[in-house]
Structure 1
Amino acid sequence: MKPFATVLFGALIVAWQPASAAQAPQNFAVLDTPAAVPEISFTDATGQPKTLADYSGKVVLLNIWATWCSPCRKEMPTLDRLQAKLGGPDFEAVALSVDRGGPELVTKFFAETGVTHLSLNIDISAKAMFALGTVGLPTTLLIDRRGKEVGRLIGPVEWDAPDMVDFIRGRIVAK
């Protein structure tokens, strides 16, 4: 009887954990306390200035990447598929290229790889990368509706894997 009670007690503890306490998939580091995100600026495909404030009220997955980064190139189609699945008024995957070659280089890469659901964003100065404390590419920040960083992942990941989609979806519905 004692082993059964122990297993039952353990199951109840797991069941009562809030969604945010669940193990994040694929090495996603979830912060205990949401952190302020530095103000950054970048441009869209037409050269218009953008900031993270443009996504206010949405959960944002900010992916810092470059076309010369092999792991970034591999994961970009999966990020595009995640945006296709979850993108809308409550969520945006923001792929921020730090390519110095300008938007033409990113446009060409998107066309070659069939990326159609992500908007083109670029910071040729790479100032955003340094302001965000990026130590390697790709680096992805999960930003809540209030503009606070709630998680970070360094390195490539399969963004459209079922566990990742469920994790991000949980963050979206957690208003």
Structure 2
Amino acid sequence: MTDEGKALEVSARVITRRTALAGVSAAIATAAVPSSPAVALSDGPPPFGTVRHQFTILQPVRMVPSVSITRLDGSTVNFAAFRGKVVLVNFWATWCPACRTELPSLDRLQEAMGRKYLEVVAVSADRDGGATVTPFLRRLGIRHLNIGLDPRARMVRAGDDESATPFPLYGMPISYIVSPSGRIEGYMVGEADWSSEDARNLLNYYLDADQAPR
């Protein structure tokens, strides 16, 4: 195990959106696959990836439709409620070993950042819904993520019919970045180290770039 218990120091005075994310310490512990070296692009988002996968930019960019997320308590929230924040939408399942490693890292990221500029929404694809998910999360000590349930695969669908869902399921886990204005910018397949400097640079990019016309 790495230093998972190490405390994070986040500045109490947030000057800009960029300093909010930049303040997340790279010391957030995770057992994720380490990011591979990459060189930033001047005309687009900085690269982010693992030894197996790279963050994939969607072209053309799609807008999130009016989609509701079912929560653990049975209530629902519309995705529009997250406007104004960068949203990291993570799809996972209890039977996925990589998901079990990635979820605690995402939980620590959300705890460190709060919900002013970043919202991590972790949507379970387990068919049994809350009956399976709730005890699983309790065992992992997950306390800060916005947990969603999608047992009928309404938000994701394996296959080539991308028009049927805003978030095609190309692998498990898979994470999508949605900009503050609701654009689905791209995705990362597989377990990734979202606490790394490359990841924080990517999130910073979408916080800043969303303020300028494209």
Structure 1: how far apart are the matches of 2:103 and 2:40?
A: 34
Q: 2:46 corresponds to which letter in structure 1?
A: A
Whole-Å separation in 2 of the counterparts to 1:21 and 1:102: 35
Query: Normalised by the size of structure 1, how large is the TM-score?
Result: 0.80
Structure 1 ranges of 4+ moved more than 6 A: none
Q: Quote the residue 1:22 is aligned against.
A: 46
Q: Could you list the runs of 5+ residues in structure 2 that have no partner in the other structure?
A: 1-38, 158-164
Identity of aligned residues (%): 34
Question: Does 1:41 find its partner at 2:68?
Answer: yes
Say what the alpha-carbon RMSD is for the aligned residues.
Answer: 2.2
Indicate the larger mover: 81-90 or 127-136: 81-90
Q: SS state of the match for residue 90, structure 2?
A: strand
* 1:121 partner amino acid: G
How far apart are residue 141 of structure 1 and its match?
Answer: 0.8
Matched, 1:71 2:70: no
User: Deviation of residue 157 (structure 1)?
Assistant: 0.8
Contact 1:25 1:167 in 2 (8 A): no
Higher Rg of the two aligned structures: 1
Residue matched to 1:56: 83
- Rate the CA distance shift 1:168–1:16 in 2: closer, same or farther, 3 A: closer
Q: Is residue 119–residue 146 contact of structure 2 (8 Å, CA) maintained in 1?
A: no
Deviation at 1:22, TM superposition (A): 2.5
Please tell me whether the aligned partners of residues 45 and 120 of structure 1 are also in contact (alpha carbons under 8 angstroms): yes
- CA apart distance, 1:75: 0.8
SS at match of 2:188: strand
Alpha-carbon distance between aligned partners in 1 of 2:189 and 2:82, rounded to the nearest angstrom: 22
Q: Does 1:94 align with 2:118?
A: no
Given residue 102 of structure 1, which amino acid in structure 2 is its aligned partner? Answer: G
**Unpaired stretches in structure 1, ≥5 consecutive residues:** 1-13
Greater helix proportion = 1
What is the aligned length? 161
Q: TM-score, normalised by structure 2?
A: 0.67
| Closer/same/farther in 2, CA of residues 137 and 16 from structure 1, 3 Å limit | closer
**Corresponding residue number in structure 2 for 1:162:** 197
Q: Report the CA distance shift for 1:143/1:15 in structure 2 as closer, same or farther (over 3 A).
A: closer
CA distance in 2, matches of 1:159, 1:15: 17
Residue identity in the other structure for 1:17: S
